[in-house]
Structures are given as C-alpha cells and as structure tokens.
Amino acid sequence: MTGVNTTADLSVEVGSLTLKNPVLTASGTFGYGLEYDAFFDVAELGGICTKGLSLSPRAGNPPERICETAAGMLNAIGLANVGVEAFCKDKLPILRRRGVTVVANIFAITVDDFVTIARRVDADEGVAAIELNVSCPNVDKGGLEFGCDPVAAARVTAAVKPLALRMVWELARAVRIPVIGIGGIARAEDAIEFLLAGATAIQVGTANFADPMASMKVLEGLAAYCAARGMSARDLIGKMR
C-alpha cells in the first residue's frame, strides 16, 4: 500500500469497493485532482470525487459566485465543468497512471442523460465509483428551497458540522447501506467523530480551499490516532452508541 506511513489498517469497505482509507475529497472542492499535484500525492487519499461532470461542457454562473460565511462559504458556481468527454480524454488517463482512486461525480436533468454519462465514465478504466449529484442547489430545478434563500442558507452554514454529524448518526441507524459523512470536516478530530457516529468514509470539502493540504492532514491525523490505539479505521465506525 502506498500512502501515509502508518502501522494502522485504515481500509474501509463502501459496498463492493475497498478504499485504502476513509478520507475522500468532496466534489467541487478538489477540481479533477490534478490541481493538487503541487501540494501532495493525491493517490494517498482514499479517493477523490471529481467536479460534477455533465454531458457537455458548462460555463457556469456569471460572477459573483462565492461569499464567505461564519463557518465556511456559500457558493453558486453553477456546475461549471469540462464535460464528461474531456474529463475521460484529458484527466482520467493521468489519474489512472498515478493510481488515484477516482469517484466520478455526475449530474444531469434527465434520467437518460444520467445513464449516458454513467456509461461513458464506466467505459474507460480508472473510475472506481460514480457519485450521483441529485441535489445541487445552484441551478434551476435543483436542490432544496433553502438553497435559494441566502438568509436561511447563511443560518445553516453557521453550524454545518453539528447538523451533519447528527444526520449521519440518525441515518446510519436507519439504513443498512454505508453512509459517507460530509459537512464541516476540516481536521482529523472531525473525521473521527463522523466515523464514530456511523460513517464508513468521510469527505473533506470547503476546508480544501483554506488549506490545500487539509485532506492529507485529516488522513495523517486519523492514521496517528488509530496507530496510537492499535485500532483500525473500521474499529471506529459506528462505535458511538
């Protein structure tokens, strides 16, 4: 196993997919992975979730697109992306050569387009999993009402992590499928809390913007935590009763 120098077994199983560790980077906060080349070897992560991919390239929304809030940021990028064809042609071969675990995030308006994009990314080697974007609030007809109300949204982002943690805790008890935790994860302690609450893996999101090393720091911290206690990452999952 390449990756963080640790004695701990950090591997987790998300369905039929085995990740070398539970640390993923969230779609829209990690580009197509290669942008982080200058900072660290992204192949060390459990995986990267790509920027949302559509059938055709998309320009996204006109400026302004972002706004900082008390606990992070609000954004309305508008799903700007190079399109699934350019991703498969220009980005995926490089990611595959580097041994990066790639989760392709895809979005579409119609079910047919979802299927077409999924088939396209599945046609090439190198995509470990597909993430369906069914809730982006930044486009017409997408997402929940609060995503369209800046005041309500600002209130929500004032306390992302406690809410996300509770949702994971409740969800993990209600379903038999793996839950991936996301929302306010910036440090290893955050990731550990999500695993304890029942998440099988986690995603680091906005924290990547403030510190490009954030996901690697989360991974290193998790590795040190597990190694110090002689535990595996799997031992932590759902440990909180």
Partner 1 sequence: MMAAVARICDARGVPCEVSLETPMACGYGVCLGCPVPRREGKEGALPGFLYACTEGPCVDAATIDWRRSER
As a 3-state breakdown, the chain gives helix, strand, coil percent values, each rounded to 5, of 40, 15, 45
CB nearer partner 1, residue 44 or residue 193: 44
Contact positions with partner 1 (CB under 8 A) in 131-160: none
Contact positions with partner 1 (CB under 8 A) in 156-215: 206, 208-209, 212
The reply to whether 73 sits near partner 1 by the rule CB under 8 A is yes
> Which residues lie closer than 8 Å to 57 by C-beta, 6 or more apart?
81, 82, 83, 86
Cα(195)–Cα(168) distance, rounded to whole angstroms?
A: 9
Stretch that binds partner 1, among 1-9, 77-85, 144-152, 225-233 (CB under 8 A): 77-85
Give yes or no for a cis peptide into 145 (omega within 30° of 0): no
CB nearer partner 1, residue 165 or residue 186: 186
Give the N- to C-terminal CA distance of the chain in Å, as an integer. 32
Catalytic residue flag (residue 49): no
CB nearer partner 1, residue 154 or residue 171: 154
Stretch that binds partner 1, among 11-19, 54-62, 117-125, 170-178 (CB under 8 A): 54-62
- Annotated active-site positions, please? 136
